[in-house]
Amino acid sequence: NLSMDKLTPVQLAELDRKHFLHPTTNPKAHAENGPKAMFSEGKGIYVSEMEGVPYIDGVSMLWNVNIGHGNQEIAEVAKEQMSKLAYSSSFNGFSNEPAVRLAEKLATLAPGNLNSVFFTSGGSESNDTAFKLARFYWELNRKPLKRKIIALGNSYHGVTIAAQTATSIPNFHSFTNSKIKEVFHAKPHLTECERGDKNHPDYEGCIRDIVEKEGADTIAAVIMEPVQGAGGVHIPPEGYMAAVRKLCDDFNILLIADEVITGFGRTGTMFGSENWEAIPDLLCFAKGVTSGYAQLGGVMLSQNVRDTIVEYEEVLSHGFTYSGHATSCAVALKNIEIIERENLVANAKNMEVKLKAGLEYLSEKHKIVTKPRAIGLLSAIDLYQDPANNVPFEEGVMAAAKVWEACFERKLIARPIRFAKGMNTIALAPPLIINNQQIEDVVGILDDAISEFS
């Protein structure tokens, strides 16, 4: 019977250990050791534990806190909306003002004629929704056999069963072997192959090859992240997404952009697709739309897809209780206002230069650091035992985990990525409000952490 205000950090940790099953966490270690950190406050790019020294949040938590922590304007708007009408249903034609205003705002922000939105509560739900809308679109176009989905290697699309199937990261893809049928994985980022170079040594298994083998008449959509995030921060070569767009046009396939990370300024453009001059038919978003201040996601539909769907005369049997959540939508509107007012998209683009220079410095200084890369404030380095000769660290070395731990001890939260043999990636994706000095702090800590490891 411990009341909320009397709990010490030790008591909280004990309750956590017993009662809270954590996502993407080792359950046995957690049940034994309790939480790694218990955050209680955030301000700007920093988060703190109770009475603790602040950490720099170098990955915006889960790549989502784009405007930074502790924003009081957002808190005010949430309070105001909750006091007035926290929530109302969007089913059966019911509506509310923040949802309508946000739908209109998104239509003005999104590239091309992505003019309408289906709201969800997050990224996985958005991708599942996009798959269903793609299949529905083809059903309405009297092509019910067009059902297959092509996703890319190294992709992360979430954990609901369809999104999990589309995800390529092995542990997520295979968890409990829960998968839908009819999803194929293509080798990513082979621009020449997607343009049709059949003599290319990697042609087999590219998107075009899968389309030809399966038959375009059976394929509903290709889904891709404009920049791959959780799969290792892979920036596609110039021309790749445009080549996939053209391929989809040529074969009558819908293109779904998973902008769950890349949306709302992360890559130095409002949406990641804008970097590549490729406009998807369906655009999935979540995370940055509210900067994590409330749960919200959605799928934007091109005019063509929407026009087809609005001809349907029965009930669209899809929707989430929190589709169009009034408070989440009010928070999103304020969040977008802040992104625009504070020029955070431009700041992400400007800070890319500084961050990339910092990562390049690390790769020059440390023999084990390679492939410094950044687009906007989405960035990474790889750790190799001997990059010059392409020799990765052996399995047991755990280079990324150790560098991550050394950063954490020095009060920087980075993100280790490791799911393939020899893979040791450290990702950084700080809030879009970060400044020059703070980037220097981030790079300085990472520098020390790598020195300790190597």
Phi-psi group of 349: left, alpha or beta (phi > 0 → left; psi -120 to 50 → alpha; rest → beta): alpha
Which of 157, 306, 349, 373 is in the footprint of ligand PLP by CB under 6 A?
157
- Inter-residue contact 432 to 345 (CB < 8 Å): yes
Sign of the CA dihedral running 384, 388, 390, 396: negative
Measured at CB, which residue is nearest to ligand PLP?
123
Sign of the CA dihedral running 278, 281, 286, 289: positive
CB of 378 to ligand PLP, least distance (A): 11
By beta-carbon proximity to ligand PLP, the closer residue of 159 and 357 is: 159
Side-chain-side CA neighbours of 171 within 13 Å: the count stands at 10
Which of 46, 119, 156, 393 is in the footprint of ligand PLP by CB under 6 A?
156
Applying the rule CB under 6 A, the residues between 23 and 62 that interact with ligand PLP are 62
By beta-carbon proximity to ligand PLP, the closer residue of 120 and 363 is: 120
Applying the rule CB under 6 A, the residues between 198 and 237 that interact with ligand PLP are 225, 229-230
Which of 248, 283, 286, 428 is in the footprint of ligand PLP by CB under 6 A?
286
Q: What is the DSSP letter of 41?
A: E
Taking CB under 6 A as the rule, does residue 128 contact ligand PLP? no
CB of 120 to ligand PLP, least distance (A): 9
By beta-carbon proximity to ligand PLP, the closer residue of 235 and 261 is: 261
- Closest residue by Cα to residue 183 from 191, 173, 198, 175: 173
Q: Which long-range contacts (CB under 8 A, 24 or more apart) does 131-136 make?
A: 131/162, 131/166, 131/220, 131/221, 131/223, 131/256, 132/318, 133/282, 133/299, 133/301, 133/305, 133/309, 134/220, 134/221, 134/254, 134/256, 134/281, 134/282, 135/220, 136/309, 136/312, 136/316
By beta-carbon proximity to ligand PLP, the closer residue of 229 and 358 is: 229
By beta-carbon proximity to ligand PLP, the closer residue of 58 and 123 is: 123
Binding mask 230-269 for ligand PLP (x = CB under 6 A): x---------------------------x-xx--------
Which of 35, 42, 123, 324 is in the footprint of ligand PLP by CB under 6 A?
123
Name 415's bridge partners: 427
CB of 415 to ligand PLP, least distance (A): 11
* Residues forming the site for ligand PLP (CB under 6 A): 62, 122-124, 127, 156-158, 225, 229-230, 258, 260-261, 286
